[in-house]
Amino acid sequence: MSYQKIIRPLLFQMDPEQAHVLVHSLLKNYGKILAKVSGGLTYNDTDLSCDLFGHPLSNPIGLAAGFDKNGELTEVLQALGFGFAEIGSVCARATNGNPKPRLFRLPEDEAAINRLGLNGHGADAVAERLGEAHFSLPIGLNIAKTNDPAIAGEAAVADMIYTFNKIRGLPITYVTVNASCPNTKEGIVTEGDQMRLLMQELQKFNSTKIPILIKLSPDSTTEFVESIVDAASTFKIAGFVCGNTTTSRDDLKTNSDRIKEIGMGGLSGAPLKEKAIKLCQRVNAKKKDWQIIIGCGGISTGKDAYDFMTAGASLLEVYTGLIYKGPTLPQDICRELSAILKQKSQDKSTDKSRSKQVAYTQD
Ligand SMILES: Cc1cc2nc3c(=O)[nH]c(=O)nc-3n(C[C@H](O)[C@H](O)[C@H](O)COP(=O)(O)O)c2cc1C
């Protein structure tokens, strides 16, 4: 059944958050069956197989944080064609998040604005759920500070450590520290000292040496990004997710009155791509070889994926693309990316044999 012709128009008649809740619960209850009846959504070639901290991945396309905040889909996500998935953000305390409405579509821009505000079941409930789950693919867990401005300074670090200690014993592949959520009163972390203290404390408790990544904001200054990347290598941080949503509203096709009416929130989807790529490039120029970049922001085609890889990302994550392109997105990106990579390597070998021929004729 065509997602774009039949299912999307129906979903787009609904309130965006209600549509998400419906899709999430359909996936939770019928995900594996849906994948089977739709003819299989997995990319079955092995040419994109890769590695995530020693765990083999069937392909480099992951689900970004925010789609499965409470870890309820870990058993079905492989059937939807993902190579890995990031669960969360999970906070120490269960919270309802910001008042509704708080999720908006911008169809003309293939974008979304959200100010959910880190709603979720909290670390205890998610840890219990994940402890009983049979993961269908490698899982990363994204943790954030509880959305409460009263939790600040050392208490903020303690709040994150609580969640980390709850989840670090689970069979997860990595932990991402979300220091870049624009949808809380505190906003994105801008204090280098606070980030350094957090990294230090996390590693103090990291007895199992689980790889820790930092999720950065495309809105951070170059100086902040560079100082965090520098500090990250000192604290043996394994990599970066580049990146989160932006508060920028530049260059949107959507009517400016509509943008004003929507108000605050993080913008995701196609208009975010250039900013996220710039963030990847900045991080790539500073990071150590042993640190990885997961590219994220406006990826919905193989070309997008390829552009992020050229900017230094070895793995990719998607969210808003799913809203516009539907459940075949991971498979479609893989097919297109594979074709681009094959074409590039053919071009390279043609160039090589041409330059050999030129050298031969010149001799
Ligand atoms: C509705 C929604 C909720 C999100 N929630 C989270 C979250 O809880 N934690 C987080 O780190 N990122 C969250 N994100 C950001 C995404 O993980 C991703 O970084 C961002 O949307 C850019 O990717 P995209 O353009 O493919 O959507 C959320 C995004 C959306 C659209």
Contacts of 2 (CB under 8 A, 6+ apart): none
Q: What is the pLDDT of residue 17?
A: 98
Atom of ligand 1 nearest to the CA of 215: 11
Parallel/antiparallel/unpaired status of strands 139-143 and 266-269: unpaired
Residues in the chain with pLDDT values less than 70: 1, 38-39, 185, 356-363
235 lines ligand 1 (CB under 6 A): no
d(C-alpha 247, C-alpha 203), whole Å:
31
- Parent domain of 122: 3-362
Q: How confident is the model over 22-60, as pLDDT tens digits?
A: 999 999 999 888 777 766 899 989 999 999 999 999 999
Query: Burial letters for 265-293: b for 16+ Cβ neighbours within 10 Å, e otherwise?
Result: bbbbbbbbbebbbbbbbbbbebbeeebbb
- With a 6 Å cutoff on the Cβ, whether 147 touches ligand 1 is no
Number of domains in the chain: 1
Model pLDDT, residue 35? 74
Taken in order 6, 9, 11, 17, the sign of the CA dihedral is positive
Ligand 1 near 142 CB (within 6 A): yes
Q: Ligand 1: does its nearest atom lie under 6 Å from the Cβ of 300?
A: no
Q: For the segment 188-246, what is each residue's pLDDT rounded down to a tens digit? A: 777 788 899 999 999 999 999 999 999 999 999 999 999 999 999 999 999 999 999 99
**Contact residues for 131 (Cβ-Cβ < 8 A; gap 6+):** 170
Question: Can you give the pLDDT at residue 141?
Answer: 98
Which pLDDT score, from 0 to 100, does residue 362 have? 56
Q: What is the CATH number of the domain that holds 61?
A: 3.20.20.70
Q: What's the confidence (pLDDT) of residue 43?
A: 93
Q: DSSP per residue over 14-56, as a string?
A: S-HHHHHHHHHHHHHHHHHHHHHHTT------STT-EEETTEE
**Ligand 1 pocket mutation, candidates 268, 274, 322, 325, criterion most atoms within 8 A of CB:** 268
Q: Is the pTM of this model over 0.85?
A: yes
Q: What is the pLDDT of residue 240?
A: 98
Q: Which residues contact 271 (CB under 8 A, 6 or more apart)?
A: 109, 111, 250, 251, 252, 298
Does ligand 1 have an atom closer than 6 angstroms to the CB of 103? yes
Minimum CA distance residue for ligand 1 atom 13: 66
- Backbone φ and ψ for 50, nearest 5 degrees, come out as -150, -165
Q: Is the CB of 305 under 6 A from ligand 1?
A: no
